[in-house]
Amino acid sequence: MQRLHNKVAVVTGASKGIGAAIARRFAAEGAAVVVNYASSRQAADTVVADILHAGGQAIAVQADMRDAAQVAQMFARSAEVFGRVDILVNNAGVYDFQPLENLTPDLFQRHFQLNVYGYLLAIKEAVPHMRDGGSIINMSSTVTEFGPAQSSVYTASKGAIDGLTRALATELGPRKIRVNAIKPGVVDTEGVQAGGFLHTDFGPRITAATPLGRLGVPDDIAPAAVYLASDESAWTTGETITLAGGHR
């Protein structure tokens, strides 16, 4: 039996990287998947095509997760096509490592509007479409544990995710809606490549400090999301799962 049979999942930021891997894995486990994207329509369509080719169900829906009207429209579209929402994965995010002297209101707002407000907004809009017993999965990060230099704003936004995960687990517990977080370590994604992190000494330093001797890949993260989305985690809420090859 597929672990997500007859469930409907919305995955934000699912056109690439970790979000795309989760969307594909959810579909393979039987979920109908809403592949959210902000601007990468072609990449989102590729994820949907892969799912459909494998016999699954998926649609791509554009929404800037900072925009309340667009987020509401995305969940309305999801419910229109699939009838409800059982699972929300908050994955869309931004990161821009900058030293403290480069702190500006824009740098702060860019991180917190998407990485924090966007998560809260998605949960607010998802919950009315959820049956009791739904699952919400928030992407946090191990930066909150090892605190890399020049990441203070990004790290602060991910620390906020840890806090809101615990608070909403309590608030939504009476409806048996579970709220958990995944803390990936450094994962080799398109975004990390584009950010240039792996072309400096950052990647080799993290790899050398990782007991399993390598950076992560998106498919390292997706199985944990399946577990948290499935009924196997029915007594798990307000928790975090760290996936970092042992790096701290």
Task: Report the alpha-carbon distance of residue 71 to residue 35 in Å, rounded.
Answer: 13
Kindly report the backbone phi and psi dihedral angles of residue 131, in degrees, each rounded to the nearest multiple of 5, phi listed first.
-80, 160
- The answer to whether the beta carbons of residues 113 and 78 sit under 8 Å apart is no
Q: Say if CB 70 and CB 64 are below 8 A apart.
A: yes
Q: How far apart are CA 169 and CA 157, in angstroms?
A: 18
Instruction: Tell me which of 37, 95, 119, 154 is the catalytic residue.
Output: 154
Question: How far is it, in rounded angstroms, from Cα 9 to Cα 27?
Answer: 9
- Which of 14, 23, 24, 34 is closest to 81 using CA atoms? 34
**Closest among 228, 142, 200, 108 to 192, alpha carbons compared:** 200
What 3-state class would DSSP assign to 209? coil
Q: Exposed, middle or buried: residue 185 (CB in 10 Å: 0-12, 13-18, 19+)? A: buried
Cα–Cα distance, 110 to 124 (Å, whole number): 20
Longest dimension (CA), the chain: 54
154 labelled catalytic: yes
Task: Give the Cα separation of 154 and 146 in Å (integer).
Answer: 13
Residues classed as catalytic: 154
